[in-house]
Amino acid sequence: MTTSHSSSVVDRDAGVPPNVERDAGVTPSSTQRVQGGLLDPRMLWKSLPDALRKCDPRTLWRNPVMFIVEVGAVWSTVLAAIDPTWFGWFVVFWLWLTVVFANLAEAVAEGRGKAQADSLRKTKADTMARRLTGWSPTTPGTVEEVAAPLLAQGDVVVVEAGEVIPGDGDVLEGIASVDESAITGESAPVIRESGGDRSAVTGGTTVLSDRIVVKITQKPGESFIDRMIALVEGANRQKTPNEIALNILLAALTLIFVFAVATLQPLAIYSKANNPGVPDSLALTGDGISGIVMVALLVCLIPTTIGALLSAIGIAGMDRLVQRNVLAMSGRAVEAAGDVNVLLLDKTGTITLGNRQASDFIPLDGVTPEEFADAAQLSSLADETPEGRSIVVFAKAEYGLRARTTGELDDAQWVEFTAATRMSGVDVGGHSLRKGAAASVAEWVRSQGGTVPEELGTVVDRVSGSGGTPLVVGEVRDGRARALGVIHLKDVVKQGMRERFDEMRSMGIRTVMITGDNPLTAKAIADEAGVDDFLAEATPEDKLALIKREQEGGKLVAMTGDGTNDAPALAQADVGVAMNTGTSAAKEAGNMVDLDSDPTKLIEIVEIGKQLLITRGALTTFSIANDIAKYFAIIPALFVTLFPGLDVLNVMRLHSPQSAILSAVVLNALVIIALIPLSLRGVRYTPSSASKLLSRNLLVYGLGGIVAPFVGIKLIDLLIQLFPGMS
């Protein structure tokens, strides 16, 4: 991944780039938007109409479990209307509530994204574009105003300060400050310029300064905002392979229980016929089991809890990414993030701050530290690079030197850095200073009649071996040329990175740092950051080959990128996270876009993916486990009059057969509504091994799924006893 730092400015006094906080993953938008999954009664009420609309069989058939529940509710309603009893209508009421609650879970999950979709639609207000015809780098072209929706792919538009960018595209000419708060929620403007990896602009954002010429890359109706609206509303959410497999399992279990319950009817008729002395009961008559009771039994035994919450869990997983300003182009990508084995992380801007900073001044023999610091600062005053500014700040902070300004040196002749000389510096009052690559400065010193001590080579090698970048300072004063010392530049590793990589390791994820640095520098940074491996002097072909090699070994790979040269690797990776500041090619190739352009967010994405999988597994475990209590509630209630020995299975000592059936049906519905907050928020994830996670889930949600319904059914049974007519 290549990174541009054109927007990064180092304050001379503070020495801290204003985007350091953002680079560290602390952004106002990403922290303020993260909300819990608490159940808001207003959200339930607002989502209720959508839940009722989802009761349409043409919609519900996609969820086999809840479709069976609705069919059962319809049949029970017909039976209750033919032979009305308070028991029948009470069961019918709670069966319909079960269907509505299941739809409500999905409606609430979808509703959480609609508010953000509404705010995004505001950015699509009709905008006029100034289209350029006949434009070329040497020809200004003619301007014509057209409505933004009429722009076609390949059109060229001009946008000036105060105007809204009419569509997604790439900057062809100019540089401008752009307000992207409508998309990212981040108030700080960003720099967009032609060439490099910060050329992509998004429709609906506002140019704050200067003028840019933009080539439209979107097709009508397929802008970035259009895709965001569809995704956050769930309109384009497709079921993931894991979710499809689980749906098939739930459908199979439902079918098994349909046949199992159906076989009880002939068994009941046969047993009753052979025991004519047994009186009819609410559940069991000479005609067998009551139709309403059979439906109640089926609904309580099939995995309605996970069937009701499965879709909500998937929607909420994508919503949690949106809250962190990450746009997932498919649910498959979110799920794949949870199974990732290898993380490919770019060094610059991800593991390190991205700007090399002065960390030490090393004077040679015969040069005092103060003398060398003064020379280093003076030679860097006109150096506008982050490295040059950090030298000025370091000299002031460590040696108390006042940051002189160029105004105090009106007679100075500043020497700019060029690729040919690989040096910069100043000539003032017969005193010449040069700062740059070791070989270039050494050659300059020799050309001025000086000699270079062997000590310089030793110091330069030591700095390079430690992963730093050596800059040598030389001078000519009073006709004497000499090397003064070495400035140690260091790419600073972000705080907390080692701890985060330790967490990744505990999850069984291998981290690989990718850099264009030489192997010595790469190894030093890798050791300091705590990554498992590194790829030095990486080319786009190297990245692609590494990903393919890992995938051939059965690994799932995630990586970040922002440049056109990253596009092949992003497309090949199982999880490709493109930076929003990157090129259109990178964003098209990846299956996720980070609107904050924070490469470290890849670690959060992996954690969210794992949380999604764990939540789905935990609630599936709970759903299947809580059926056990319903067996002990309903089966004895059905057959206890026929087979008194079954009373030993009535471990909850429920009051009567009808209260047992009612308690199980009521609990079955209430569990769904109670678990909506957990499905939206997700099960809390702590990095640990797969075996520990499995053990914890079995203990908490397996054992909890068995115990909780016993308590719940008994409490509801006691409540029903307060109404003698019901029990």
Give 219-230 pLDDT, tens digit per residue: 776 666 666 666
Co-location of 369 and 385 in the same domain: yes
Query: What is the pLDDT at residue 354?
Result: 63
Specify if 79 maps to a domain: yes
Neighbouring CB atoms inside 10 A of 667's CB total 26
Q: Per-residue pLDDT tens for 662-681?
A: 888 999 899 998 888 888 88
What CATH number did the domain enclosing 149 receive? Answer: 2.70.150.10
Instruction: Say if 508 falls within a structural domain.
Output: yes
Instruction: Answer whether residue 103 shows pLDDT above 90.
Output: no
Q: Evaluate whether 30 touches 324 at the Cβ level (below 8 Å).
A: yes
- The label of the residue with tokens 């914890």 reads 696
Indicate whether 2 pLDDT > 50: no
**Phi, psi angles (nearest 5°) of residue 147:** -70, 140
Least confident of 290-299, 350-359, 417-426, 530-539: 350-359
Most confident option among 144-153, 358-367, 375-384, 530-539: 358-367
Same domain, 175 and 265: no
Q: Averaged over 178-194, what is the pLDDT?
A: 69
Check whether residue 638 and residue 671 sit in a common domain: yes
Q: How confident is the model at residue 77 (pLDDT cuts 50, 70, 90)?
A: very high
CATH number assigned to the domain comprising residue 396: 3.40.1110.10
Domain-embedded: residue 213: yes
What one-letter code names the amino acid at 289? I
Q: Are residues 157 and 220 in the same domain?
A: yes
Q: 207, 233, 259: which is the final residue of a domain?
A: 233
Q: Is 132 in contact with 154 (CB distance < 8 Å)?
A: no
Q: Do 220 and 339 sit in the same domain of this protein?
A: no
Pick the range with the lowest mean pLDDT from 132-136, 150-154, 412-416, 687-691. 687-691
Query: How many domains in the chain?
Result: 4
3-state secondary structure of 348: strand
The predicted structure's pLDDT at residue 254: 86
Same domain, 424 and 475: yes
184 three-class SS? helix
Q: Label residue 347 by pLDDT band (50, 70, 90).
A: confident
- pLDDT for res 173: 87
Judge if 617 and 704 occupy the same domain: yes
Q: In this structure, are 442 and 504 located in the same domain?
A: no
The pLDDT tens digits for 35-52 are 444 456 676 777 788 888
Catalytic residues: 346
Whether the CB-CB separation of 325 and 30 falls below 8 Å is answered with: yes
Residue 119 lies in a domain: no
Are 476 and 498 part of one and the same domain?
A: no
Stretch 629-647: mean pLDDT: 76
| pLDDT over 50 (residue 4) | no
44 belongs to a structural domain: no
Check residue 555 and give its pLDDT.
87
The confidence score (pLDDT) of residue 456 equals 92
Domain range for 499 is 327-351+494-595
Least confident of 146-155, 245-254, 398-407, 576-585: 398-407
Least confident stretch, 100-114, 204-218, 378-392, 549-563: 100-114
Residue 30 included in any domain = no
Binding-site residue numbers for ATP are 383, 387, 417-424, 435
- Of 21-30, 75-84, 311-320, 691-700, the poorest mean pLDDT is in 21-30
Q: Identify the weakest region by mean pLDDT among 321-330, 393-402, 536-545, 704-713.
A: 321-330
Residue 25's pLDDT is: 33
The per-residue pLDDT for 184 is 57
Q: For position 17, what pLDDT does the model report? A: 32
Spell out a b/e string for 327-348, using b for 16 or more CB atoms within 10 Å of the CB, else e. bbbbbbbbbbbbbbbbbbbbbb
Reported as a pLDDT band with limits 50, 70 and 90, residue 323 is confident
- Examine the pLDDT at 124 and tell me if it is beyond 50: yes
* Average pLDDT of span 395-404: 79
Closest by CA position to 242, among listed 701, 602, 620, 688: 620
Name the binding residues for Mg(2+): 562, 566
Average pLDDT of the segment spanning 392-410: 75
Strands (E) in 419-509, as ranges, are: 423-428, 431-436, 469-477, 480-493
What span, in angstroms and rounded, lies between the C-alpha atoms of 594 and 578?
Answer: 6
Confidence tier at 239 by pLDDT (50, 70, 90): low
Q: What is the model's pLDDT at position 22?
A: 32
Tell me, what CATH number does 586's domain have?
Answer: 3.40.50.1000
Q: What is the pLDDT of residues 192-237, one digit of tens each?
A: 888 766 788 888 788 888 889 998 887 776 666 666 666 555 544 4
Cα torsion angle, 418, 8, 517, 577, sign: negative
Q: Following CA atoms 176, 181, 186, 189 in sequence, which dihedral angle do they give, to the nearest 10 degrees?
A: 20
Q: How many residues does the chain have?
A: 727
Strands 480-493 and 510-514: unpaired
Same domain, 548 and 622: no
Kindly give, in sequence order, each residue whose CB lies less than 8 Å from that of residue 685, ignoring residues fewer than 6 positions away.
607, 610, 611, 614
Res. 366: pLDDT tops 50: yes
Is the pLDDT at 651 greater than 80, yes or no?
no
Pair (141, 214) in one structural domain: yes
Work out the average pLDDT over 481-507. Answer: 84
pLDDT at residue number 14: 33
Q: Is the pLDDT of residue 115 over 70?
A: no
- Give the mean model confidence (pLDDT) for residues 493-500: 81
User: Rounded to whole angstroms, how far apart are CA atoms 679 and 379?
Assistant: 60
- 492 pLDDT higher than 80: no
pLDDT at residue number 473: 94
Share of the chain above pLDDT 90, in %: 12
Classify the phi-psi angles of 204: left when phi > 0, otherwise alpha if psi is within -120 to 50, otherwise beta: left
Minimum mean pLDDT among 2-6, 58-62, 314-318, 580-584: which range? Answer: 2-6
Provide φ and ψ at 328, rounded to 5°.
Answer: -90, 125
For residue 96, pLDDT over 90 is answered with yes
Q: Considering the domain boundaries, does residue 168 fall inside one?
A: yes
Residues 528 and 650 both lie in one domain: no
Going by pLDDT thresholds of 50, 70 and 90, the confidence category of residue 21 is very low
pLDDT of residue 445 exceeding 90, the answer is yes
Residue 84 reports pLDDT greater than 50:
yes
Given a contact cutoff of 8 angstroms between Cβ atoms, the answer to whether 678 and 700 are in contact is no
Read off the pLDDT band of 273 (50, 70, 90): low
Out of 203, 233, 263, pick the residue that ends a domain.
233
Whether 34 maps to a domain, the answer reads no
Domain boundary among 477, 492, 507: 492
DSSP, collapsed to helix, strand or coil, labels residue 224 as helix
Cite the annotated binding site by residue number: 383, 387, 417-424, 435, 562, 566
pLDDT for residue 62 is more than 60? yes
Distance CA 152, CA 410 (A): 53
Please name which of 140, 147, 174 lies closest in space to residue 160, comparing C-alpha atoms. Answer: 174
Q: Would you state the pLDDT for residue 9? A: 29
pLDDT over 60 at 441, yes or no: yes
CA–CA separation, 124 and 700 (whole Å): 47
pLDDT value for 481? 92
Instruction: Tell which wins on pLDDT, 321 or 241.
Output: 321
Residue 630 half-sphere exposure toward CB, CA atoms < 13 A: 26
pLDDT at position 5 over 60: no
